[in-house]
Amino acid sequence: MSEVRAIVRIGDTDLDGAKATAFALARIRGIGLASAFAICRRLGIDPYTPLGNLSEEQVSKLDWAVRNLHEIAPAWFLNRRRDPVNGRDLHLIGSELILAARNDIDLMKKLKNWKGMRHAAGLKVRGQRTVTTGRFGPTAGVTKKKEGQPGGGGKQ
């Protein structure tokens, strides 16, 4: 057994070596707890072993699995099914995920569909009500009227 590492790099992300493997993997953007446990079980790694205690070979297997989850998981488990660019089922992580989401929003704006117009206007996109929430600017609370004015709270 090699020495315990404090920081392990998997999927272009620095992870805490003291954390359990599954919980450390869940710190990667695009990998949640369910994905992390599935990866660990698929590779035969105990999800509760500290990440820093794993061998170099196990860490390289984890890195490969995180980057190529679309090859080892069913299609319903992935976060980008039928990618509009190439039509394949993918699982994006890290900056790829952020970039893909931004490109999708830009495409909707360019096509001027409903969601794109809502994004462009900075309004709610998913059908939420906007009468009382999602307001801009400073809060406009109720002000008390001064005493002595008509309709005020003072004696007359």
- Using alpha carbons, list the distances in angstroms from residue 58 to 8, 65, 114, 148: 12, 10, 47, 79
Residue 59: inside a domain: yes
At residue 108, the pLDDT reads 93
Are residues 11 and 94 in contact, defined by beta-carbon separation less than 8 angstroms?
A: yes
User: In 3D, which of 61, 7, 18, 8 has the Cα closest to residue 39?
Assistant: 61
Are residues 91 and 80 in contact, defined by beta-carbon separation less than 8 angstroms?
A: yes
At residue 136, the pLDDT reads 78
At residue 85, the pLDDT reads 85
Are residues 18 and 6 in contact, defined by beta-carbon separation less than 8 angstroms?
A: yes
Full domain range(s) for residue 27: 7-77
Q: What Rg value do the Cα atoms of the chain yield, rounded?
A: 25
Residue 139: inside a domain: no
CATH number (domain holding residue 12): 1.10.8.50
Is the whole-model pTM more than 0.85? Answer: no
At residue 114, the pLDDT reads 94
At residue 20, the pLDDT reads 93
The DSSP letter of residue 72 is: H
At residue 145, the pLDDT reads 78
Q: What is the 3-state secondary structure (H, E, C) of 118-150?
A: HHHHCCCCCCCCCCCCCCCCCCCCCCCCCCCCC
Residue 49: inside a domain: yes
Residue 145: inside a domain: no
Residue 45: inside a domain: yes
Residue 73: inside a domain: yes
Q: What is the Cα–Cα distance from 101 to 106, expressed in whole angstroms?
A: 9
Residue for token digits 């990440």?
51
User: In 3D, which of 58, 43, 45 has the Cα closest to residue 5?
Assistant: 58
User: In 3D, which of 26, 30, 31 has the Cα closest to residue 15?
Assistant: 26
Q: Which stretches of the chain score pLDDT less than 70?
A: 1-2, 140, 149-156
